[in-house]
């Protein structure tokens, strides 16, 4: 098992400070956001990622996963092969895709279009010996839960196309976890670690519910169950702690992450 931290909200840290913080908290390495505006981004990834990874490896840190930008969806796009080549060079097998958004079109027609894109990714992954994964993201995204993800990935080579389970998102999108793990067991490639809770507000007599990421011990996810289910399907891969506390400062995020790790993360 690899326990890594998602660097999405650590955008202002350079590669040296990022390594200091990740190592100091006891992570195995990084779920590295490679996005525009980040120290390592689609424009420099071919050289910057191997250079940074070499320095990180000297400190015993690995890049367990690269998380791409939201629009990383077209296997023919010019940024795809340089990123895959960089991942292959440093021995990072796992790449998270972007998101296909549902906008009212016919669902099954769009699923077939997405599967054509995934077929293109499958061919590239076989060439570079990496894997791309579809993340279970709640709300308007294709693959919002494991059932939806399986509409997209079923039939592809699971060594090239994977399912990235996010129990936090599943808890608010609604899916029974034992059934979810059973559905994706042959494709399970990554597991995200975060938790949501629902919050009630009332305005002008109308009750509304909004979801928000909360510390792991305060949310909807039963992490003991998640770990038991993961072990039950033989999963021993990457767990990525997200710490996606929007609106928090970098120091607040790091402080909260330290607390999560001290409590044992999802354990």
Q: Which of 182, 140, 136, 142 is nearest to 163 (CA)?
A: 136
Residues 211 and 105: their CA atoms lie apart, in Å, by 26
Q: Give the model confidence (pLDDT) of 123-163 as tens digits.
A: 999 999 999 999 999 999 999 999 999 999 999 999 999 99
Residues 122 and 144: their CA atoms lie apart, in Å, by 21
Residues 251 and 261: their CA atoms lie apart, in Å, by 15
Residues 212 and 19: their CA atoms lie apart, in Å, by 28
Q: Regarding beta strands 195-203 and 206-214, do their DSSP bridges make them parallel or antiparallel, or are they unpaired?
A: antiparallel
Residue 203 scores a pLDDT above 90: no
Number of H-type helices and E-type strands within the chain: 9, 10
Structure token digits, residue 2? 């690899």
Q: Which of 124, 31, 38, 115 is nearest to 83 (CA)?
A: 124
Q: Which of 48, 122, 58, 121 is nearest to 89 (CA)?
A: 48
Residue 6 scores a pLDDT above 80: yes
Per-residue pLDDT band at 266 (split at 50, 70, 90): confident
Residue recorded with tokens 């549902």: 102
Q: Is 29 helix (H, G, I), strand (E, B) or coil?
A: strand
What pLDDT does residue 265 have? 74
Residues 9 and 247: their CA atoms lie apart, in Å, by 10
What pLDDT does residue 174 have? 84
The mean-pLDDT minimum among 76-80, 177-181, 215-219, 261-265 falls in: 261-265
Residue-range domain boundaries for the chain: 2-262
Q: Which residues contact 198 (CB under 8 A, 6 or more apart)?
A: 172, 209, 210, 211, 220
Q: Give the model confidence (pLDDT) of 12-25 as tens digits.
A: 999 999 999 999 99
Q: What is the mean pLDDT of residues 242-258?
A: 92
What pLDDT does residue 84 have? 98
Q: Is 2 helix (H, G, I), strand (E, B) or coil?
A: strand
Q: Which residues contact 256 (CB under 8 A, 6 or more apart)?
A: 215, 243, 245, 248
Residues 127 and 88: their CA atoms lie apart, in Å, by 10
User: What are the angstrom distances between the C-alpha of 51 and each of 60, 68, 84, 147, 190?
Assistant: 15, 18, 15, 39, 25
Per-residue pLDDT band at 267 (split at 50, 70, 90): low
Residue 246 scores a pLDDT above 90: no
Between 204 and 267, name the one with better pLDDT: 204
Q: Which CATH number fits domain 2-262: 3.20.20.150, 1.10.3720.10, 2.60.40.3880, 3.30.420.10?
A: 3.20.20.150
Q: Give the model confidence (pLDDT) of 56-108 as tens digits.
A: 999 999 999 999 999 999 999 999 999 999 999 999 999 999 999 999 999 99
Residues 259 and 255: their CA atoms lie apart, in Å, by 7
> Is 15 within 8 Å of 49 (Cβ atoms)?
no
What pLDDT does residue 224 have? 95
What pLDDT does residue 166 have? 97
């Amino acid at each position: 098992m690899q326990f890594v931290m998602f660097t999405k909200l650590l955008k202002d840290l350079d590669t040296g400070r990022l390594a200091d913080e990740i190592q100091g908290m006891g992570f195995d390495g990084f779920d590295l956001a490679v996005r525009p505006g980040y120290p390592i981004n689609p424009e420099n990834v071919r050289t910057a990622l191997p250079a940074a990874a070499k320095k990180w490896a000297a400190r015993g840190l690995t890049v367990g996963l690269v998380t791409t930008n939201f629009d990383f969806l077209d296997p023919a796009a010019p940024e795809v092969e340089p990123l895959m080549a960089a991942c292959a060079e440093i021995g990072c097998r796992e790449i998270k895709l972007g998101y296909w958004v549902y906008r009212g079109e016919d669902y099954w027609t769009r699923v077939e279009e997405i599967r054509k894109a995934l077929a293109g990714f499958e061919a590239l992954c076989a060439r570079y010996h990496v894997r791309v994964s579809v993340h279970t993201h709640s709300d308007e995204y294709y693959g919002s839960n494991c059932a939806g993800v399986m509409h997209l990935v079923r039939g592809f080579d699971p060594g090239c196309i994977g399912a990235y389970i996010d129990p936090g998102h599943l808890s608010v999108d609604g899916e029974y976890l034992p059934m979810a793990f059973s559905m994706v067991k042959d494709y399970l490639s990554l597991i995200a670690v975060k938790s949501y809770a629902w919050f009630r507000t009332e305005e002008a007599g109308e009750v509304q519910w909004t979801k928000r990421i909360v510390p792991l011990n305060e949310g909807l996810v039963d992490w003991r169950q998640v770990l038991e289910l993961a072990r039950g399907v033989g999963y021993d891969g990457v767990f990525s702690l997200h710490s996606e506390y929007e609106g928090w400062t970098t120091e607040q995020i790091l402080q909260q992450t330290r607390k999560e790790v001290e409590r044992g993360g999802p354990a």
